Structure 1
């Protein structure tokens, strides 16, 4: 039985990462759709969407079969302790959309059989994805909001708590505070709780992660697929953007994290890890793969994680059903 043809939906304003993934998708034979305004593009949500011709049938990505390249070749930035993201976990600087343009690989492909659905995937930031994904039947996978706080201290090297921002207002010390899975509260070191966005800007019940301030000498992003590091690379050094390959110690620590806590994550996710000046390794955070930057990563392998992390609800595995946003 052939799987349905696939399309990758992208946001209105493309980052470098989105452009890189678009190119990788087209090389693989996917159709790409770039939104241009403020609702679901015509044709994506309507009855004619599943009948678009000339779209190749492609295999569902797995860690053993999809993508090419070395797991030691990837990089991205953003989401680091005390360092605002340059691109990081939000692929779009835009707003929800309508209309759009599409690119279809030349040479046609295999037309869908009568009655087959059309598989749609997404690479975009949270605000865009929250509007578009439900309309297109896309399940967005993400880590539980308190995942980082529940990790053993041996993996985080610092105290981390998940709490309503209303409670965080009472902090009387510097702390690194961020929203677990979006940017409603910017990831920053705040001098105390009074510096956080107030109740006029954020719902008091909004959950935030509050952690001790930890400075990392070097930081790496691990693109995880099926419980294994699928791609990895350096994205920062001493708090500044610096791209490069992942060293063996970073990959070893990543495997330790996944051995200890891999079952508490969806099958496709991004995990950032770092090493401090004393040589201690720690988990920085987990990010949704569909919203994470690509940068100099092996785009084919990063695309594997993106497709799995934001794909048709009908293709969810039993394990992943518990991680839908």
Structure 2
């Protein structure tokens, strides 16, 4: 029986995944602490769902390989899909900003992702290392934003999650949003991170995405644009079909021995957890 282990402080998506997983016959369990329960540590095959902290704690103990998009993936997209300037740089460089910009950590929520008037408001070297990667983006207003759960280059589930920057969840995803999503995935279908073809979706520069991932897109005053990509094992499902979300999550954080050659470059490095 496969195991799906969820992080403590389970959210609404986690509750839906528990139901879907148990309906399929998986052993779905919510951890009560930020560690793998001793009675579950030896169970295989295993999968996980939770944030980066939980992935760092649980992945090695469960033999799970969590997949995540490259930190600089946005910067590799064609300009007509991105709709703005985005730079992947270090926190030390971002602190030197003298203009307003949207700044965020690529994956881990190390500090708030938001518009900063300049770099002086970013965490100092006493809080985060100078070489911490960050994304610096031109400021753009999204009138609508949509979440796409992608498996092997195809959208398996989609949901609107915001209108004018405010939470506005809806299962309704119009044909124009789906058409843009298809354009994004078609443009990313040139190969994996190692230049090979297969389940990963890549871009012309050779930087790709894992075969199971979340991609967010949005509408602006000038048209459609990619918002960001996120690990499926740490992303909310909003109004997406939970069974389809589960399909993507199981692949995005599954047994290391089942990794494909295309997905292998996207495994999250196991971080040292300080207690």
| Separation (CA, whole Å) in 2 of partners of 1:302 and 1:233 | 11
Distance in 2 between residues matched to 1:153 and 1:223, nearest whole Å: 23
Q: What is the aligned partner in structure 2 of residue 257 from structure 1?
A: 184
1:220 Cα deviation after fit: 0.4
Partner of 1:303, secondary structure, is: helix
Query: What's the TM-score, normalizing by structure 1?
Result: 0.75
Aligned residues: 250
Counterpart position of 2:265 = 322
Richer in strand (by share): 2
- Alignment check: 8 A CA contact 2:35 2:54 kept: no
Q: Are positions 1:25 and 2:21 aligned together?
A: yes
CA RMSD of aligned residues (A): 1.0
Gaps of 5+ in 2: 189-200, 203-207, 269-275
Written as runs of structure 1 = structure 2, the 5 A alignment for 1:259-278 is 259-261=186-188, 262-263=201-202, 264-278=208-222
8 Å CA contact 1:222, 1:231 repeated in 2:
yes
Q: With CA pairs under 8 Å and 6+ residues apart, which has the higher RCO, 1 or 2? A: 1
Give the gaps of 5 or more residues in structure 1: 51-117
Q: Name the residue aligned to 1:37.
A: 33
The alignment status of 1:16 with 2:12, answered yes or no, reads: yes
**SS of residue in 1 equivalent to 2:130:** coil
Contact 1:20 1:294 in 2 (8 A): no
| 1:150-161 alignment runs, 5 A limit | 150-161=76-87
The higher radius of gyration belongs to 1
- Partner of 2:131 in structure 1? 205
1:293 equivalent in alignment to 2:214: no
After TM superposition, the score normalised by the length of structure 2 is: 0.89
